[in-house]
Amino acid sequence: MTKTRCAIALALVLGTAGAVRAQDAGARAPLELYLKGHATGDGEYYRRAFHPDAKIQGIRDGKLVTRTREEFAAGAAGKPAEDEALRKRRIVSVDVVDDAAFAKIELDYPKIKFTDYFTLLKVDGEWKIMSKVYHGEAKQ
């Protein structure tokens, strides 16, 4: 392959990678808002992250829990948790295809560990969490 062809091929790969990174960054935006909601206790972050029709479902203490976006946001404490300095949160993965995405987040708290799975859509040009399914496991 000539130097010119190599340069063109590299530019195409880098251009595609740049587009994918921008797409991933867009899908990560509501996930970051979700994490800020946990860190601050401010339910408004959840309202901004989740689509109005979003559903939150999971297993906690062996029981099915289902909430709307508003119920989830209303459950925010309004301030950071007392043990906030000991809490760890991370976006484990984000898989984006065009205007749909799937993500995994871990919330590792002193007394409980949550694993969250999200579906996201780009709606009217803005990424929103459409659903959250989680499992919470108490630590011993």
pLDDT truncated to tens, each residue of the chain (140 aa)?
A: 555 554 444 344 444 444 445 567 799 999 999 999 999 999 999 999 999 999 999 987 788 999 999 999 999 999 999 999 999 999 999 999 999 999 999 999 999 999 999 999 999 999 999 999 999 888 98
Closest by CA to 118, choosing from 70, 55, 63, is: 55
Domain boundaries, the chain: 3-138
DSSP H helix total and E strand total for the chain: 3, 6
Instruction: State how far the alpha carbon of 29 is from the alpha carbons of 7, 37, 89, 105, 107, in Å.
Output: 33, 13, 15, 13, 17
CATH of 3-138 given 3.40.50.150, 3.40.50.1360, 3.10.450.50, 3.30.70.1070: 3.10.450.50
Q: What is the pTM of this model?
A: 0.82
